[in-house]
Amino acid sequence: MFKERLISGILLVLIAIAAIYFGGWVLWGVLLLISLIGMIELERVFKAHITVPSALCLLAAVGYYLLIRFEMEEYVLPAALVLVIAMLICFVIAYPKYDFTQLLVCFFSIFYVAMTMCCIYRIRVMDGGVYLVWLVFLGAWGSDTCAYCVGRLIGKHKAFPVLSPKKSWEGCIGGVLGAALLGLVYALIFRSKLTAVGNPTLAFPVICACASVLSQFGDLAASGIKRQHEIKDYGKLIPGHGGILDRFDSVIFTAPATYLLLTLVF
């Protein structure tokens, strides 16, 4: 199990490095594929994945990515309204085939997975984005690693005993401080490349710390959905890790948080 998890983790990192380095259509395509798989995984939990509303939402996710790729964001809201109307028409025509909850889950999956993951692409296209985008992963995977290590070493006080019995307050705080430290070290190493950011040695630790807090809530939110539906993993796509949502549950929260904080810095 550990060997599978290690190998899968290394491959994920290599894929992430390659996709972020090339950027453009390569990163766009990788993120779109991840988003579509993640949406299907979430919809499967609610038994809404093999439905017409699901197909409409998957197509809508592709449309959203295309609008972002071609910088046509002004059409996102009209497209969302068209999707809502189309799904409700589908609900009426097929009634009572679909439970209304299925429609809500399919629609929610666009925001929860596709739009959040797309923020990685939006950061990448910023000035110096090839360096800025790594803050997403420092605030997510870096925070997870720090929280795990601190929790194992000194964790005593349970933070969320019902939802996540193994999480401790010490681990949560360690994750935030660890992410901030990683952000500072990263800023010091690449400071000369980050000319678009006024003071990266201050901004990056703050961004990573904030992202870490949201990262942990992202992990807990995904865990809560699994617990309510009594499943261990969202999927089996990534050996040793589970599905896309099992590996990217924290990134789903850190990507939009990092993007919004960076827009404030710029």
The full set of domain ranges for the chain reads 1-125, 127-266
Per-residue pLDDT, averaged over 165-181, amounts to 94
Q: What share of the chain has pLDDT > 90, as a percent?
A: 76
Output the average pLDDT for the chain.
Answer: 92
Whole-number Å distance between alpha carbons of 166 and 155: 9
Q: For residues 157 and 142, give the distance between their C-alpha atoms in angstroms, rounded to a whole number.
A: 22
Q: What's the confidence (pLDDT) of residue 162?
A: 87
Q: Check pLDDT > 80 for residue 174.
A: yes
Residue of 120, 92, 100 whose CA lies nearest to 35: 120
Residue 132 pLDDT grade (very low, low, confident, very high; cuts 50, 70, 90): very high
pLDDT at site 244 = 93
| For residue 238, pLDDT beyond 90 | no
Give 96's DSSP letter.
Answer: T
Residue 109 is predicted with a pLDDT of 96
pLDDT at 266: 67
Are 152 and 227 a contacting pair, CB within 8 Å? Answer: no
pLDDT interval class at 194 (50, 70, 90) = confident
Tens of pLDDT along 208-235? Answer: 999 999 999 999 999 999 999 989 889 8
- Answer whether 20's CB lies under 8 Å from 133's CB: yes
Token code pair at residue 187: 């800023």
Residue 138 to residue 251: CA distance in whole angstroms: 10
In this predicted structure, the answer to whether residue 5 has a pLDDT above a threshold of 90 is: no
As to burial, measured by CB atoms within 10 angstroms (0-12 exposed, 13-18 middle, 19+ buried), residue 257 is buried
Q: What is the pLDDT of residue 239?
A: 78
9 vs 189, residue with greater confidence: 189
DSSP string, 111-168: IIIIIHHHHHHHHHTSTTHHHHTHHHHIIIIIHHHHHHHHHHHH--SEEETTTEEEEE
- Banded model confidence at residue 2, pLDDT cuts 50, 70, 90: low
Does pTM top 0.85 for this prediction? yes
Task: Report pLDDT digits (tens) over 68-127.
Answer: 999 999 999 999 999 999 999 999 999 999 989 999 999 999 999 999 999 999 999 999
In the chain, pLDDT over 70 holds for what percent of residues?
98
Rounded to an integer, what distance in angstroms lies between the CA atom of residue 142 and that of residue 207?
13
Residue 144 scores a pLDDT above 60: yes
Give the pLDDT of residue 124: 97
- Interhelix angle 169-190/200-228, nearest 10 degrees: 140
pLDDT band at 196; cut points 50, 70, 90: confident
Per-residue pLDDT, 1:
57
More confident residue, 94 or 264: 94
C-beta neighbour count of 7 within 10 angstroms: 12
